[in-house]
Amino acid sequence: MSFEAAKARLEAAGQTHVLQFWEELSAEERGTFLEEISQLQPDELVKHCREAAASASRESSADGRLDERMQPVPSEFIGSVRKSDRETLQKWENEGLLQISQDRVAVLLLAGGQGTRLGVSYPKGMYNVGLPSGKTLYQMQAERIQKVQELANVRHGCRCTVPWYIMTSEFTLGPTEKFFKDNKYFGLCPSNVVMFEQRMIPAVGFDGKIILEKKNKIAMAPDGNGGLYRSLVDNKILADMEGKGVEYLHVYCVDNILVKMADPVFIGFCVNKEADCGAKVVDKAYPAEPVGVVCRVDNVYQVIEYSEIQPETAELRGPGGELLFSAGNICNHFFTRSFLKDVAEKFESKLKQHVAIKKVPFVDGEGNLVKPSKPNGIKMEKFVFDVFQFSKKFVAFEVLREEEFSPLKNADGAPLDTPTTARRSLLAQHYRWILAAGGSFMDEHNKPIAPKHSTAQNEDPPAICEISPLVSYFGEGLEKLLNQKNLKSPFILDENEAKNLVQTA
């Protein structure tokens, strides 16, 4: 793109200030800048800037009361790990493993965030929370995919594949690609790990003007995890899925250390219910817990953010004393490929734009870098769950928080969702699995450690133990290895240790 073309494009959008430092730029800087400007479409840019300023204004003045229009998800559209009998859970698991064995299931990871609150400069999936094994989130997730493939292979005598689609952003694509290559894709076939990039959109000031991050760079931000739907088309991911025979997708966020990749029980439940869209939920821990709630508004399914619900509504209870609006959203979803195709082709433009008021570093009129002390910019984003409204058959699936949800969002020192709480959640889960399998622990003096079946989030379990996903996907198969075994803490059950236990049995 030439300077003249760039200038004309920006003039059409009312954003000529973007070129105010042009004369000060080197030839290389100019080339990079023109490439960035060439990605901006004038019509879209005008609409984006106008909507950002208008939405921010509405956000500050909106009442936002939805309470009188809210209804809980009807019980007939909710499955539950806690309330279902073993036979029903086994039926759903069998269905899920059958679909996996036929190469009809893939997982899709939302990994475009920068991890700002965590305080790191690299993608969250590369984070090591301090487990005895030193494994990162990416490694654990890769190993869970391998194990669920193996479970389906053994059950159905086949060799199946669960493709892994990873949506990154401008910030995370390069480091993620390098990390996977350096670690040989953690044992997965590289052709089955498909990375793609979501769109970046300009941050806008309260005056509707694009913010300059540098003299030759616009301040950009990912378009939210709801940017998935446009990215699926832009990057020909739907076509790739169709070519691989994928019919069902498990979509999740990178930061949940307990996520069950391609969970056969969840997949089987949704397939059994002939759902096109599903959401895992957990019971809210308390009425005011800051999590979104899966519910209906005017008979349309959606997630209502906790800040949009009045305290008296959050406190409402059903006939059995349970919270009426208890279905906490954990960003863990099921979609059919055909539903994703419909959303991408017909409904993506109708998705709500959410406003995030942020502190956005910028260059002032003299070209000095300024780090603002208060919010100065608007970032617009779409949410992945805002497509529930377009579903023809929506279902929710209640899972146990202690088994499936422990997000990593904040640096240590925060009260919740830190590396320490994530690590403790996983270690406590593995400790429970070992007790359930008949194992017990000894201290350094060979004295028994008294078992404790539940631990608080602010304490480690009585014994430290970690089980590789390559040995057990979700606690299965451990009894034959650990029943009546006395183990020393810390204990790591990896593939080599599993072989040793089999040989000494």
Instruction: Give 425-471 pLDDT, tens digit per residue.
Output: 999 999 999 999 999 999 888 899 998 877 666 788 999 999 999 99
What is the tens place of the pLDDT at every residue in 247-275? 999 999 999 999 999 999 999 999 999 99
- Torsions phi, psi of 412, nearest 5? -55, 140
pLDDT band at 60 (very low <50, low <70, confident <90, very high): low
* 164-168 and 105-110 beta bridge pairing: parallel
- What is residue 362's three-state secondary structure? strand
pLDDT at 505: 63
Q: Report whether pLDDT(41) > 90.
A: no
Q: Report whether pLDDT(62) > 70.
A: no
Alpha-carbon span 167 to 254, nearest angstrom: 10
What is the fold, at CATH topology level, of the domain defined by 419-504?
Seminal Fluid Protein  PDC-109 (Domain B) (2.10.10)
- Percent of the chain, pLDDT > 90? 78
Average pLDDT of the segment spanning 386-411: 96
What is the fold, at CATH topology level, of the domain defined by 67-404?
Spore Coat Polysaccharide Biosynthesis Protein SpsA; Chain A (3.90.550)
- Percent of the chain, pLDDT > 70? 97
Alpha-carbon span 206 to 186, nearest angstrom: 45
Average pLDDT of the segment spanning 406-411: 94
Average pLDDT of the chain, as a whole number: 93
pLDDT band at 193 (very low <50, low <70, confident <90, very high): very high
- What is residue 422's three-state secondary structure? helix
**What is the residue extent of each domain of the chain?**
67-404, 419-504
Identify the DSSP state of 324.
Answer: S
pLDDT at 141: 98
pLDDT band at 308 (very low <50, low <70, confident <90, very high): confident
Average pLDDT of the segment spanning 165-174: 93
